[in-house]
Amino acid sequence: MAVNLLLGLQWGDEGKGKVVDVLTSNYDIIARFQGGPNAGHTLIFDGRKHVLHTIPSGIFHENAVNVVGNGVVIDPVIFKKELENLATYNLDFKSKLLISRKAHLILPTHRLLDAASETSKGNAKIGSTLKGIGPTYMDKTGRNGMRVGDLELVDWKDKYHSLTEKHLKMIEFFGVKLQYNIKELETEFCEAIDVLKQLTFIDSEEYLNNAIRNKKTILAEGAQGSLLDIDFGTYPFVTSSNTTAAGACTGLGIAPNKIGDVFGIFKAYTTRVGSGPFPTELFDEDGKTMSRVGQEFGATTGRPRRCGWLDLVALKYAVQINGVTQLIMMKGDVLSGIKTLKACTSYNYKGNIISHFPYNIEEKNVTPIYTEFKGWNEDLTLMTSAKTLPKELNAYIKFIEDFVEVPIKIVSVGPDRKQTIMR
């Protein structure tokens, strides 16, 4: 039984949480494989909005087991708040939410290091969510980190204090002023650890491979997006983990030959939070319309998202490096009423016309070349069948499919789980 993957193909915020929620009924296990609480997966159903940060998006389905894999970094304080926000649903966290012992822990001083590093950069800020993600992954690769399994050891606090002391010295090195009370932060952290230890810790790679052998269906859920991948994204304006398909193998302990379908999610336009190059970014009324109608604000940070036309060069690049087999297009409804749509189909790169995603897409190097499309005025949000979609939208969809050579199987026409059209 193959493991299917669900990935974002842009700079994150594509709508992965909604789609995982929609697809969960087809799977026994939903497994998150990378990232941390810098992710914000938004789900809307029964008239209520839910934002998850670390917990997999299948948590609301009674029959699904949710696994936080070894590639994830966990902030116990944020995790505790997530659990508290879900308390009214009477969910069986002990049996339905399993945590990998090999997942790394975000300490309070990781967050302080994140803030100190970002502040020290001045105008060259990366746009970090300041959740301590980067410093935690740095400790992981530096072989200094604390893992969930350490909490089962009697001397885990010794390791915690040793790492905290190291961090405090590093914060002094940055030479910036931060306001914090380490005792208060530690008290909050230890209270959250007590809650975390009430959950079930597992050797997740063994659990998942046993599930595969027992013919269980598994959906691996990614966070952020492919263009934020530490290797293949718009470095250095990226996240600290591998957000692409390869990250699912290392983030869950699943062999590449166990991967089946790769579902790639993208918006009908493009958005980006924080700093970094964005060739198709708009500063006109069309961009403002996308922002307003699409309610483009970060689910985790609340920061306004930058908006622009769909970049098909970047999308084809993401499809290629992930081996995407099916596409899911989100927020087509946001484009209703825009008279003329555009999609970037090539770049003018340093005076040459290219159709691939180059090493550097800074504005000084890249000018997007567009293909135009006739827009539509129909309200898509009440449509329930592919047959009812406007012909202009179908033409837009077909062009995208032909360009990237992968079919679009799902079209989302609104934020609610019911506003999902299968093609």
Q: Is residue 104 among the annotated active site residues?
A: no
**How far, in Å, CA of 403 to CA of 388, rounded?**
24
Other beta carbons less than 10 A from residue 164's beta carbon: 20
Please state, in angstroms and as integers, the Cα–Cα distance from residue 3 to each residue in 7, 35, 59, 303, 322, following that order.
13, 19, 18, 34, 14
Please state, in angstroms and as integers, the Cα–Cα distance from residue 147 to each residue in 106, 188, 216, following that order.
9, 18, 27
Residue recorded with tokens 């039984």: 1
* Cα angle for residues 54, 100, 165 (degrees, 5° grid): 80
Other beta carbons less than 10 A from residue 184's beta carbon: 10
**How far, in Å, CA of 42 to CA of 50, rounded?**
6
Ordered DSSP codes for 63-85: T-EEEE-TTBEE-HHHHHHHHHH
Q: Is residue 41 among the annotated active site residues?
A: yes
Half-sphere exposure of 130 (CA within 13 A, CB side): 13
Tokens for 277? 């190059």
Cα 19 from chain centroid (whole Å): 12
- What are the phi and psi torsion angles at 333 (to 5°)? -65, -25
Q: Are 68 and 57 in contact (CB under 8 A)?
A: no
- What are the phi and psi torsion angles at 235 (to 5°)? -60, 140
Catalytic residue among 21, 41, 53, 61: 41
Cα 402 from chain centroid (whole Å): 26
Catalytic residue among 13, 139, 229, 311: 13
Helix (H) or strand (E) holding 114: helix 108-120
- Bridge partners (DSSP) of residue 51 are 42
Helix (H) or strand (E) holding 171: helix 156-174
Ordered DSSP codes for 180-247: --HHHHHHHHHHHHHHHTTSEEE-HHHHHHHHHHTT--EEEE--S-GGG-TTTSSTTSS-SS--SHHH
Catalogue the active-site residues.
13, 41
